A and B are shown apart, each in its own frame.
With several copies, the nearest count.
Chain A
Amino acid sequence: MADLHVNLAGLQLSNPVLAASGCFGFGREYNEFYPIRQAGGIMVKGLTLEPCAGNPTPRIAETPAGMLNSIGLQNPGVDAFLSNELPWLLSQEAAVIANINGHALEDFEEIARRLQGAPGLKAIEVNISCPNVSHGGMFFGTDPAMASEVTRRVRKHTSLPLIIKLSPNVTDITEIARAVVSEGADILSLINTLLGMAIDVKTRKPLLARKVGGLSGPAVKPVALRMVWQTAQAVDVPIIGMGGISSAQDALEFLMAGASAVAVGCASFVDPLAIPRIIGDLNAWLDREGFAGVRDVVGLALR
């Protein structure tokens, strides 16, 4: 048994394989497949200040080795999260990370304020990269000044480890990474989805009701990996890598590229047992290759 524990700037996790936000709800569904405390951490569905109904359907389109989604942050709101979801998650002994979203800078601040002091909450992940909402969303994550400002504001209101989730839809991800780290981000998570589109040739219209959506899945893995690799060389904070991870081999690619932990998104849709499978295979690989701990793999390909 290799040591799978990781410590990301104070965020202690039993293993480095997390559930990516929006791909695991609030854990209830996959808890019917395995005890969700097995996941290194759970980044819950993106929270907004008020409950949010999300976008019209179709919200899902399959693409080659990937999928587009335009959920639009459907969620019960931060207060319902605190009263209904968080207690249940903690009763399952899950390591919970709140993913927060805003249409305006004040929204981020207010959510952070409400989450401050929530017993048991492990960290806050700030989504400045959602491509599926018209106001805010990705807009905050594609401009270094805006990204800095969001980080600065949230930092003021939280003492929890602060994760900033970066958008891949930028010319230079290291610029944004440096900007948010200088404002107090403890950890970076990347990548969110790539802005994409699919057209239904039959109806001659975009397949998604909202026309564009976020691309994720194996198709984006090379882009995600490159960005993790670039970012790991640009900043000194730990990185949670994600984008197309569906096997322990994929996870190892991200770890070797410099991520300290990884998150699994739509692979859970394809294989509900993806997370425990990846953890098991990762462990077996580390043992076989003679690594004492998963930490020893981090950044191997950077040398």
Chain B
Amino acid sequence: MKAIHQASLLKNRALAPQLYEMELLAPQMASVSKPGQFVMVRIGENQDPLLRRPFGLAGIDPESGRIRLVYQVVGRGTDQMSHWRTGRTVDVLGPLGNGFTWTEDPGRVILAGGGLGIAPLLPLAQALRSAGKEVTVFLGSRTESLLFGIPEFSELGCELQLATEDGSQGFKGFLTTPLEHFLCAQALDAVFLKAKEASEAGAGHAHVHTHAMLREGMKETGFHQLYACGPSPFLKVIGNLSSRYGLPAQLSFEERMACGVGACMGCAIQIKNPDGTLKTSRVCSDGPVFTGEEVHWNG
């Protein structure tokens, strides 16, 4: 049985102007939640604002029974949340959706989070590190103050690459640029290495980087999965990179939601069937994580 949780608000503080983190005591939920899942928070008891607001789980601690949200104030729902005082009861529905998946073995993975899309990568990185993986994290945001999670990712032993649109921290521009450089460099290194090995072994190869070569190289790097969360134009670029480099991607989407549980069909996304036909899936209950391959990018 799914349930609504009356969680106790343990912490609610500003990380930066308009950026907040919230910790909730919700033991039952914390014990079953997985990285990539989300919750729907009720804003008030009145009829306005009416709908719950969706937030990805930015922290899951079954031991202490806590969950964590990181949210940005963008409208009146999040504005009101930012004024909630600790001790208050928060009505939370969740965990919802299907989270990210991974294999319980070592290997190299890449995480890319744009803006608030950083949030669900935090518990994911934790899980991946526990599974023994080598994790490289790309974080991007509009400006330095909106980058969060850096200490947590570092502490987990992830390699970090940063980008801000205004250049206040890391690469100046979109996160996808350093990510693409990284993928390209990794793949080429592997290609060169192989070529070198091959030439040392006597064989001769032309140095043309075809897509096939890059994909070939990527395989050699040991990177076997890309995880990303962020605005949908960002996910589209990631989806592109994923197919160019043959690196499977798990992408976490956002869409306007009403029910959050799969009943209203509000949060549609076009998904390709294996036979190439399209079907309309629900971001909330069929997602929010979809593979780069199955998503149909319209336009």
Contact = CB atoms under 8 A, between A and B. Distances in A.
B282 to A, nearest CB: 9
A272 interface: yes
Nearest to B280: A53
Given A269-B264, A272-B4, A272-B93, A29 B285 contact: yes
Contact of A269 (B3, B48, B258): B258
A296 interface: no
A270 B263 contact: no
B204 to A, nearest CB: 52
Contacts of A219: 47
B50 interface: yes
A69 B264 contact: yes
B35 to A, nearest CB: 21
Contacts of B263: 23-25, 29-30, 268-269
B24 interface: no
B278 A23 contact: no
* Chain B interface extent, by class: 20 to 34
B266 to A, nearest CB: 4
Contacts, number: 104
A9 B4 CA distance: 37
Interface string B80-111: 00000000000001000000000000000000
Interface stretch (A54-62, A143-151, A159-167, A253-261): A54-62
B18 to A, nearest CB: 16
A218 B264 CA distance: 17
Interface string B263-280: 111111110000000111
B259 A29 contact: yes
B280 A74 contact: yes
A74 B263 CA distance: 11
Contacts of B279: 53
A289 interface: no
A74 B268 CA distance: 9
A23 B52 CA distance: 15
A247 to B, nearest CB: 10
Contacts of B2: 32-33, 272
A168 interface: no
B64 to A, nearest CB: 26
Interface string A242-265: 000010000000000000000000
Contacts of B280: 53-54, 74
A206 B265 CA distance: 20
A25 B265 CA distance: 8
B48 A59 contact: no
B257 interface: yes
Interface string B29-61: 000000000000010000111111000000000
A246 B76 CA distance: 15
Contacts of B42: 270
Contacts of B270: 53
B25 interface: no
Contacts of A74: 265, 268, 280
- The listed residue with most B CB atoms (<10 A of its CB), out of A28, A67, A270, is A270
A58 B47 contact: no
Nearest to A32: B2
A54 B268 CA distance: 9
A65 B258 contact: no
A57 B268 contact: yes
B256 A57 contact: yes
A62 B93 contact: no
Contacts of A217: 47, 50
6 contacts: A23-B264, A28-B262, A29-B263, A30-B261, A34-B1, A59-B268
Interface of B: 1-4, 42, 47-52, 93, 255-270, 278-280, 285
Given A29-B259, A53-B280, 8 more contacts: A34-B1, A53-B270, A53-B279, A56-B268, A64-B47, A67-B258, A219-B47, A269-B263
